[in-house]
Structure 1
Amino acid sequence: MTAVVEGRAIVQDYHVPGGILAKARTVRALKGVDFAVPKGKTLAIVGESGSGKSTLARIIALIDAPSGGELLLDGLPVDIGKRRPDSALRSKVQMVFQNPYGSLNPRQKIGNVLTEPLVINTDTPAAERRDRAEAMLQKVGLLPEHYNRYPHMFSGGQRQRIAIARALMLNPSLLVLDEPVSALDLSVQAQVLNLLADLQDELELTYVFVSHDLSVVRYIADEVMVISNGEAVEQGTRDQIFANPTHPYTQQLFNATPVTDVEAIRQRVARRRMAREARPA
């Protein structure tokens, strides 16, 4: 099976300018990272702050070009260089960022936020753009009448649902999610994770999910890649990594991370929803 996204020896270098007391130097943020994600699966990238996981996410999302190595989408090499990817390529991969409060323009109504990707990348008529946006709002658990509201009128969890809806407007096959629930309360985290799981099943989406929260990773991931200092020190299935972490860094990461039972929260949220739906109208 051809991977939806694959990386071969991905390298990323950053130039650090010199100063009065220091010479200019090059910092290697990624050191030859390999990965492959099959259709409909989730690869979780785990590591501490500064490990290189968000750098890799931006490369996969076609925001940054790698300094070396090869990135492939649907088996075809991608070389965006210093150019922005074209519309056809952009439609394949979208990114959801960490901060639901900072990722939406406060001056734009939600309808404009959702239809903007269609305006930029397609020739979809205005009426159809609105229909698709309202349908997408419902798909992520919001209402069509939210189309004319502003971001400040929504909670953090609702804003992240809007960000997910915007990412899906071009019907991508791959979503790159960079700490998408870390800014949310635990009960809201579980709701958003449930939504992502449902969307993945319904739309056959492939996810690259960046997180430092091992409880979230354990719930959402099929495969796990652990990054330390720009290197992938351990890779395997979720069950393999959690049952028997072999690299000392992975073991240290597990020992240092408090465990939150997201699965238990998810089940409580599901029970409450079922109870509400069972009440007589």
Structure 2
Amino acid sequence: MAENTPVVEGRAIVQDYHVPGSLFTGSKTVRALKGIDFAVQKGKTLAIVGESGSGKSTLARIIALIDAPSGGELRIDGQPVDISKHRPDSALRSKVQMVFQNPYGSLNPRQKVGDVLMEPLIINTRTPAAERRERAEAMLVKVGLGPEHFNRYPHMFSGGQRQRIAIARALMLNPQLLVLDEPVSALDLSVQAQVLNLLADLQDEFELTYVFVSHDLSVVRYIADDVMVLSKGEAVEQGTREALFADPQHPYTKSLFAATPVTDVEAIRARVVQRQAARQAQRA
């Protein structure tokens, strides 16, 4: 991959859905995405924002190689990707992973956490059993948990801890790109700040590239490098985080910013760090 080649790039991405007709109406085709262009460089975060039904999650599933687009071209490391006729091979799958909104729904409640983390290695690699366990325990530590959590079940954890487990599972194959679909929207504000801080640290450590889907502009302002605003399947505005928040140009972007209550995630994060430092001081 050339130095300036985007980790992921979309060119005129289109997604159509066939809607069956009723007794009185014929079937029709609904265009959920209308020619979306984007590119994300290594180590950067592209945030995709918009109201419900704007096409955010549809685009996220395409980027994550879960769904095939109806038209356009998706490139990973500069190479065209075609998943319309087959599932991505393990080499491609290892490059792109997805973290979903509901951490409990994305984890098998009958599997212990260790098995959840080792499963991608079992399916996609020939890693020996002992090494699988070693890597899973090390990843638990990376996301702020520990080896003692290896044999516990998902229901034994809080929502924030479960999302940490989901992030750990996504990282087990050493991906280049994480697609995060509303990963903190189901969490309390203080826990949101902790998970966002974790994501920022992991991005720095592993040189990860993020596509981050969110409706929360405070979260976007905290984590994004670039922002794409979707409305009814169209990218109405794109730009750097600084430019977009300082001077939004499109009327829809302006209305979206005006209508969305802003929570100071940065201030919350500062309070969390202070509390953690105070607890550590008390233990010392």
Report the alpha carbon displacement of residue 21 of structure 1 after superposing the two structures with TM.
1.9
TM-score by length of 1: 0.99
For 2:170, give the aligned amino acid. Answer: A
2:150 partner SS: helix
Match of 1:39 in 2: 42
- Measured in 2, the distance between the counterparts of 1:213 and 1:101 equals 21
Aligned to 1:272: 275
Distance (whole Å) between structure 1 residues aligned to residue 218 and residue 192 of structure 2: 11
1:146 aligns with 2:137: no
Aligned to 1:97: 100
1:62 aligns to what?
Answer: 65
1:210 aligns with 2:213: yes
Aligned to 2:54: 51
Q: Secondary structure at the match of 1:40?
A: coil
**1:77-115 deviations in Å (ceiling 9; x for gaps):** 101113110000000000000001211111000011000
1:69 maps to a residue whose letter is: G
Alpha-carbon distance between aligned partners in 1 of 2:132 and 2:257, rounded to the nearest angstrom: 45
Match of residue 110, structure 1, among 110, 113, 129: 113
Report the counterpart of residue 199 of structure 1 in structure 2: 202
Question: Do structure 1's residue 120 and structure 2's residue 128 form an aligned pair?
Answer: no
Match of residue 257 from structure 2:
254
Shift of 1:278: 2.6
* 2:222 alignment partner in structure 1: 219
Of residues 167, 172, 178, the one that matches 1:169 is: 172
The 2-side partners of 1:108 and 1:280 are apart by 34
Counterpart residue type for residue 218 of structure 2: S
Q: Aligned partner of 2:114: which letter?
A: G
CA distance in 2, matches of 1:277, 1:70: 50
Tell me what 1:5 maps to. 8
- Alignment-derived partner of residue 86 in structure 2: 83
Stretches (4+) displaced over 6 A: none
In structure 1, runs of 5+ residues without a counterpart are none
% same residue: 84
From 230, 233, 254, the equivalent of 1:230 is: 233
Shift of 1:272: 1.4
